Each structure stands twice: as C-alpha cells, then as structure tokens.
C-alpha cells in the first residue's frame, strides 16, 4: 500500500536545526516530495488491534532560514478522497469517505498550518499548528525529529531535507465521533487518533 503524506514538512527551532546541522542549506522554500513522504494514522479497533490506514495524495511547503529556524513556516494539504486502506471489506472505503465519517464530498481536504515551535532536544521539537479536518480547526502538536539534509549538487541540483513526526488527537474534537466506545468499554473504534509522518522535501535548484 503506497501511502505518501499529510503531509508534512516540519518547522524547527534553533536547538533543533542548528547551523552546523544545516550544512549547505541556504534560506529558501522547500516543496514536499510525495514519492518520499508518508502519513499513517491508526485507531484502536475493539481493543484487539490498532487499525492503520493513510492517504496517497498530499502536498506541502516549508519556508526555512537556517539563521532563524524558529521563524520557519510550514503548510500541507491532504486529499481526503485519496484514503488508502489495506484490503478493505466491500463498501468499507465508501463508508469512511461518506457523511458518517470523513464526509469527503463536503470536506475534501485536510490542512495543517504551523503556528509555533518549541525545542525539546538536540534534534527534536514540538511543532504546533492549526489542523483543519472535517470542517473543524483545532490546534495539534507534532513531535518532530530532524533527520538530516543533503547539499545542493551532492545527489541532485537542490538541497533535500528530511523529518519524522508523531501526533495524537481526539477525533470527536473534529466532529467525527461515530463508533466511539461507551465509557469503560472497548467495543467500537477508539477516539484517540495516532499519526506517524515521514517526509523528504526539496529546495530550489542551485541554478536558481
């Protein structure tokens, strides 16, 4: 199952993206490389397993200045209709995209726009932003990890940079409470949504 991302390039603060970690990275805009990015989400199913799925169509941008990484800006968009399920039962995908869950015809996109960054370690940071899902906007924090970067001309005529991230949020907070178990029960689909993100993004060509 091919599951490129939500997504997402991520922002960082000075301890996360120190100058020595960003060798050869000029201030520039980065564009998400969808062939090297993925977003997976999982929810508890009946207390038996964490059911996992993702999305195939996404885009994103990151504006980063190594001299002021705390001012970086990130945004991403996911096409809800690109929902990708592993061997779904007949009609299950249509049910999830229908009015009782994602309601993709009415709310065709999921978006994220960063609002703040807080460092948590040498290569990690909490990236908080506005997540819009199912027509509702709520703050969500991503626990982001900076993985590294190439320099322009090393493999290709632009800088490539990579991040990983994890997040957890309540789906009922976004008006998606169908099937949530009663208190004290696991019979249903859990309220907590766990997200795992892997991203690579490319900068401007050295020829520019």
What pLDDT, on the 0 to 100 scale, is given for residue 207? 59
Strand segments, DSSP code E, in 33-85 are: 38-45, 49-55, 58-64, 73-79, 83-84
In a domain, 9, yes or no: no
Task: Calculate the average pLDDT of the chain.
Answer: 87
What pLDDT, on the 0 to 100 scale, is given for residue 65? 80
In a domain, 207, yes or no: no
In a domain, 101, yes or no: yes
**What are the tokens at 4?**
């490129």
Burial of 20 (0-12, 13-18, 19+ CB in 10 A): exposed
CATH code of 127's domain: 2.40.128.110
Q: What SS3 class is residue 20?
A: helix
pLDDT tens string 89-116: 999 999 999 999 999 999 999 999 999 8
Q: Which residues make beta-bridge pairs with 45?
A: 49, 189
pLDDT tens string 170-205: 999 999 999 999 999 999 999 999 999 999 999 988
> At 6, is the pLDDT very low, low, confident or very high (cuts 50, 70, 90)?
very low
Domains identified in the chain, total number: 1
Q: In this structure, is the dihedral angle defined by the CA atoms of residues 67, 69, 71 and 75, taken in order, positive or negative?
A: positive
pLDDT tens string 41-51: 999 999 999 99
Range of the domain at 178: 19-202
What pLDDT, on the 0 to 100 scale, is given for residue 112? 97
* CB contact set of 56 (below 8 Å; sequence gap of 6+): 2, 3, 4, 79, 82, 83, 84
What pLDDT, on the 0 to 100 scale, is given for residue 23? 65
The reported pTM is 0.87
């Amino acid at each position: 199952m091919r599951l490129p991302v939500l997504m997402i390039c991520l922002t960082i603060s000075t301890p996360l993206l120190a100058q020595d970690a960003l060798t050869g990275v000029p201030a520039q805009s980065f564009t998400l490389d969808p062939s090297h990015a993925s977003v997976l989400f999982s929810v508890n199913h009946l207390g038996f397993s964490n059911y996992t799925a993702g999305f195939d169509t996404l885009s994103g941008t990151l504006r980063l200045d190594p001299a002021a990484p705390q001012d970086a800006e990130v945004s991403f968009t996911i096409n809800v209709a690109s929902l990708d399920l592993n061997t779904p039962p007949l009609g299950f995908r249509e049910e999830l995209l229908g009015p009782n869950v994602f309601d993709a015809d009415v709310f065709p996109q999921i978006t994220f726009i960063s609002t703040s960054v807080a460092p948590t370690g040498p290569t990690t940071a909490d990236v908080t932003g506005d997540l819009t899902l199912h027509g509702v906007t709520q703050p969500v924090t991503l626990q982001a990890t900076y993985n590294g970067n190439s320099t322009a001309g090393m493999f290709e005529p632009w800088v490539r940079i990579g991040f990983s991230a994890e997040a957890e949020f309540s789906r009922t907070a976004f008006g998606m409470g169908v099937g949530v178990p009663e208190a004290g029960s696991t019979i249903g689909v859990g309220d907590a949504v766990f997200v795992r993100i892997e991203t690579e993004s490319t900068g401007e060509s050295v020829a520019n």
